[in-house]
Structure 1
Amino acid sequence: MSKQGSRLLNIGFNNGVVASRVVAIVNPNSSPMKRLREEARQNGKLIDATQGRKTRSIIIMDSSHVILSAIQTETIANRFSSDGTPQEGMEKVLGD
């Protein structure tokens, strides 16, 4: 994948996901999201990017992967809707 065609979304701790593949960014506290998290764990589709911290958002990808993040849902949503420039802290991931 080229860097130009795939904008990375910073989800915390220098972890990034390809923004165009994000289906939803949701709050992890509801019962359906807890079930989704457990189902993804059982299917080997769960990615924990919290670095041992409390899960504050769940990111659902078009590949059916479920990603846990320690960053607030609102913060990730704001980053997702920004102007498309690399997010703060993503220089290492992008290799710039």
Structure 2
Amino acid sequence: RLHQKTIRNNQQLQQSCRVQNQPTKIIASLYINNKLGERQVKNIILFTIRTKRIKYLGINSTKDRKDIYIENYKTLLKEIKEDIKKWKDIPCSWIGRINIVK
């Protein structure tokens, strides 16, 4: 019964994506501990199943909540530090740097 509802929902979702005439990429993540159940769900669902992470609006969504900090904050902090090092070498005042960015 659940299998039939899932198939019906997938078909409706695909039809709504076709009506809009836009290329829509649907990505899902599975939170199933059972390998057999995971394989069954992958056969039922007609859209892409992600393996590790999805980047949406600049935020990396990971399968484990513990990894969200590492994937987002640590990498962002590293990029900011690299940018600060680049800007330190430019012989310019703060106002000049702001004008460069404008």
TM-score of the superposed pair, with normalisation by structure 2: 0.24
Structure ID, larger Rg? 2
TM-score of the superposed pair, with normalisation by structure 1: 0.25
- Higher relative CO (Cα under 8 Å, sequence separation at least 6) belongs to 1
Higher helix share: 2
Higher strand share: 1
